Amino acid sequence: MARLSNPTRLLASARQQAGAWLQRPLRIGVTGLSQAGKTTFITSLLNQLENHPKSLLRQRSPFDRLLSVHWQREGTEHAFPYLNALQALSGDPARWPESTTDLTRVELELRYAPGGLLGSVQGERLQRVELIDYPGEWLLDLPLLQMDYGQWCEQMASWVKTEPRASLIGDLAARLQAIDPQAGTDSVDLHALRGEWTAFLQRCREAGLARNQPGRFLLPGRGIADVMLDFVPLLAGNQHSHAEPGSVWAECQARFNYYRDFIVKGFYDQHFSRLDQQVLLVDMLGPLAAGPQALADVQGALDDLLASFRYGRGSLFERLFKPRIRRLALCATKVDQLTAEQQRDAQQCLEDLLTDSLTAVRHGGVTIKGFPLAAVRATRQEGDTLIAGRQQDQRLLRYRPAEIPAHLPLDLQVEPISLPPLRPPPGLHRNEIFPNYRMDQLVAWLIGETR
Ligand SMILES: Nc1nc2c(ncn2[C@@H]2O[C@H](COP(=O)(O)OP(=O)(O)OP(=O)(O)O)[C@@H](O)[C@H]2O)c(=O)[nH]1
Ligand SMILES: [Mg+2]
């Protein structure tokens, strides 16, 4: 009653709340290649916030003053499928969330009790946070923003000449090479060739390769007319080729330009151009298991990705990292597949893999912090062995994890490790904190330390 009857305080509180509503949300860009762990990470982040009174977050300011967290659970278009992910993780047997096929979004509202020196005059504080989730394949297209069709054809021609792509593409390379760019277009042929290029990208993905372009050939998402994806790289062409009207080159170039200027740029402008914080999730263990070629491909993909944001004044880099993005959390994911002692090695290998790109990002004024992360810990450690459920059946597996090098050699020639596929742990419940490594530290750094 005393509080309600104090008009000054009421006014201050109303002003605070109005201010928070008008404030734009804190935008966190969750960045990661296909299967890096984005959806599991967002699910675990929501689990931390939903259960904040039980989380270690509680020990950190401002989460010690966090009163409640709200977001639109399901039902709106593009809502992040939190309940589906929970159902999978807490099912019997437990499953990992489905791989993402389209863009989804979460807009969180966090309500804090007044605190600090001004606490007595200020009212409750509202903080809005926005996260998006999308298929990792889409990220691989961002480097296309810096290319024209001829340059892309040259890049594809060079990629398919080197192993393992040279073997994976089979005779498609020779057939694409044999097409005269100035010949007339046959739309039926073009559609069939796109199907073959897509099948080649699928084989690349299964072989553990990361740079599979165009990403929307693998996962188109909603709202793209299928015919607009009917293009392929014409390997006999180059950046100096001319587009004779009616030629197959002109046709492919027009569709490539549409793809780059509307689909890729639209995705970038809407979701990556106005970020405040970024989380880069990288599965280091998958490529370490697939071998040095896969490791080199992930390195190329992530370097290209970070380089998409690294061009002089007014460039994508400026808009993404300066001055908006202040922090980049760099996370080697799924480190629960290693012993606690090895987890820092996986993080170090990631930092070794991206040394040059990270130096450039830091030079742009961005603070980078490393978090060896497990969004949902599938293992428990006993001595130097790990115990976890096997993916293929419900049997328990006790194993000693593979050796991880303390540093990656420059030539990336490391002995491939073996990695048993694991299930999520049994008995997860949405109203308990999921077992994890460092989720609370990461959430606190991303959301809690924003002022
Ligand atoms: N052990 C372990 N495995 C994980 C963890 N997070 C993800 N995984 C594994 O990695 C796979 C991919 O995780 P997702 O969260 O779906 O990855 P994503 O980046 O959303 O993948 P796309 O939607 O396909 O781009 C899962 O199916 C699990 O097998 C984790 O914290 N620990
Ligand atoms: Mg996903």
Q: Check residue 273 and give its pLDDT.
A: 75
pLDDT of residue 129 exceeding 70, the answer is yes
pLDDT of residue 311: 26
- Does position 101 have pLDDT exceeding 60, yes or no? yes
Amino acid 4: pLDDT: 41
pLDDT at 166: 97
Mean pLDDT of 179-204: 92
Task: Say which ligand is closest to the CA of 97.
Answer: 1
| pLDDT at residue 67 in the model | 96
Q: Indicate where the chain has its CATH 3.40.50 domain(s).
A: 7-96+101-134+272-376+406-413+429-448
Mean pLDDT of 264-278: 84
Any idea which ligand is nearest the CA of 33? 1
Point out the least confidently predicted range of 121-125, 183-187, 238-242, 316-320. Answer: 316-320
Binned at pLDDT 50, 70 and 90, residue 16 comes out as low
The correct CATH number of 7-96+101-134+272-376+406-413+429-448 out of 3.30.70, 3.30.300, 3.40.50, 3.30.519 is 3.40.50
100 lines ligand 1 (CB under 6 A): yes
Mean pLDDT, residues 346-364: 92
Report the nearest atom of ligand 1 relative to the CA of 379. Answer: 1
Give phi and psi for 278, each to the nearest 5: -135, 140
Give the percent of the chain with pLDDT over 90.
68
pLDDT at 8: 54
Distance 34 CA to ligand 1 centre (A): 9
pLDDT of residue 314: 42
**Which of the four pLDDT bands, split at 50, 70 and 90, describes residue 222?**
confident
Closest residue to atom 27 of ligand 1, CA basis: 96
Ligand 1 atom closest to the Cα of residue 436 is 31
Residue range 404-422: mean pLDDT, rounded: 94
Q: Which ligand is nearest to the CA of 380?
A: 1
More confident residue, 139 or 203: 203
The finding on whether 378 has its CB within 6 A of some atom of ligand 1 is yes
Give the range among 180-194, 308-322, 337-351, 405-419 with minimum mean pLDDT.
308-322
- CB of residue 104 inside a 6 A radius of ligand 1: no
With a cut of 80, say whether residue 322 has pLDDT above it: no
* Averaged pLDDT score across all residues of the chain: 88
Give residue 276's pLDDT band: very low, low, confident or very high (50, 70, 90): confident
Q: Is 47 in the pocket of ligand 1 (CB under 6 A)?
A: no
The residue contributing the CA closest to ligand 1 atom 29 is 96
366 C-beta closer than 6 A to ligand 1: no
Does 199 have pLDDT greater than 80? yes
Looking from the CA of residue 137, the nearest atom of ligand 1 is 25
Predicted pLDDT at 317: 52
Residue of the CA atom closest to atom 21 of ligand 1? 35
